């Protein structure tokens, strides 16, 4: 099966920037979609951004214009560039991938969370 390794979380001041990375490895025929989610205390987990194999992206309204998702298909990696960070962006961020496995077909894998804290 596939595994996702996430990195890049940190504590920053409001207005700062961070770049999250997520790399997939393992038994992967192709990756259909990769996405970033976040889970803040007291809130439901929400989709932050997603990118499809053809390059189409979508974003949560709250991050449009501030966050950018990108993908390196050769490396099976996805990135989330976060600019103009706000305290309300504080959350644990997760990466996931919808991919084709040689053994089970279309399936989903999640990476471990990484903490992003925005405070002054």
* Angle 54-27-5 from CA coordinates, rounded to 5°: 75
30-58 in b/e form (b: 16+ CB < 10 A) is: ebebbbbbbeeeeeeeeebbbbeeeeeee
Q: What is the per-residue pLDDT across 75-108, written as a single tens digit (0 to 9) for each?
A: 999 999 999 999 999 999 999 999 999 999 999 9
pLDDT for the residue numbered 105: 93
> What pLDDT, in 10s, does the model give residues 24-35?
999 999 999 999
User: What is the bridge-based pairing of β-strands 2-7 and 91-101?
Assistant: unpaired
pLDDT tens track for 39-54: 999 999 999 999 999 8
Assess contact for 35 and 95: CB atoms under 8 A: yes
pLDDT in the model for residue 112: 94
**Rounded CA gap, 51 and 1, in Å?**
21
């Amino acid at each position: 099966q596939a595994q996702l390794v996430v990195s890049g979380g940190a504590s920053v001041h409001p207005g700062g920037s961070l770049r999250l990375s997520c790399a997939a490895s393992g038994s992967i025929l192709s990756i259909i979609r990769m996405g970033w989610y976040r889970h803040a205390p007291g809130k439901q987990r929400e989709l932050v951004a997603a990118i499809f194999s053809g390059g189409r992206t979508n974003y949560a309204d709250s991050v449009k214009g501030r966050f950018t998702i990108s993908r390196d298909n050769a490396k099976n990696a996805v990135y989330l560039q976060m600019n103009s960070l706000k305290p309300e962006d504080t959350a644990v961020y997760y990466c996931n991938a919808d991919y084709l496995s040689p053994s089970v077909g279309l399936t989903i894998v999640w990476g471990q969370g990484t903490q992003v804290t925005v405070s002054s």
